[in-house]
Amino acid sequence: MRANLSAFITGLALAGTVSAVRAEDAEILQTPDPAAILDIAKGFGSARMDKDDNGDPMISGRIEGVKYVIYFYGCEDHENCKSLQFSTGYTDPLSADQANAWNAKYRWVKAYAGDGSNFRMDVSFAGGITRANVEEQFSNWNAMAANIRDFVAGK
């Protein structure tokens, strides 16, 4: 009986720990708060807050030696934005075939042909996402930065 009680108490303690971890991540972000996004960005490299040509928030940074910008979209009076987009570009254009080759190989970051080579990753906050999910998006971008650099250099 005592062993069962001990196991039960241990199980409750473990459940409490798991609940506490989940509670930490239970904060649902309905909009990409620029200050919070900047804070996360600084954890992955240099980053600073700017404004785009429309006056909306914009973050400029460098990750794995690759310059990038985070644009905020769907903003109301430059606040309460609905989504964000990671973006990096190079002056050397990609052909449609090169962009398609990239897009066939990589899932999260998409390449676009045009005046310059452009790579973008969109993050929607529709319905809300956790801070951990936003951090995971930065991890994805971080993991892809060297691939982008190498792809452009070797195209």
pLDDT in the model for residue 4? 56
146 inside domain? yes
Query: Which domain range does residue 34 map to?
Result: 26-154
Q: What is the DSSP letter of 60?
A: E
Which residue in 115, 131, 111, 114 sits closest to 123, CA to CA? 131
SS3 label, residue 138 = helix
pLDDT in the model for residue 3? 59
* Count of the separate structural domains present in the chain: 1
Per-residue pLDDT in tens (0 to 9) along the chain, 155 residues: 555 555 545 554 545 544 444 555 678 888 999 999 999 999 999 999 999 999 999 999 999 889 999 999 999 999 999 999 999 988 888 899 999 999 999 999 999 998 777 999 999 999 999 999 999 999 999 999 999 999 988 85
69 inside domain? yes
16 inside domain? no
**Which neighbouring-strand residues pair with 117?**
90
For residue 75, the domain's CATH number is: 3.30.1460.10
For residues 127 and 1, give the distance between their C-alpha atoms in angstroms, rounded to a whole number.
Answer: 47
14 inside domain? no
pLDDT in the model for residue 110? 96
Q: What is the DSSP letter of 51?
A: E
In this structure, the number of other CB atoms found within 10 A of the CB of residue 100 comes to 13
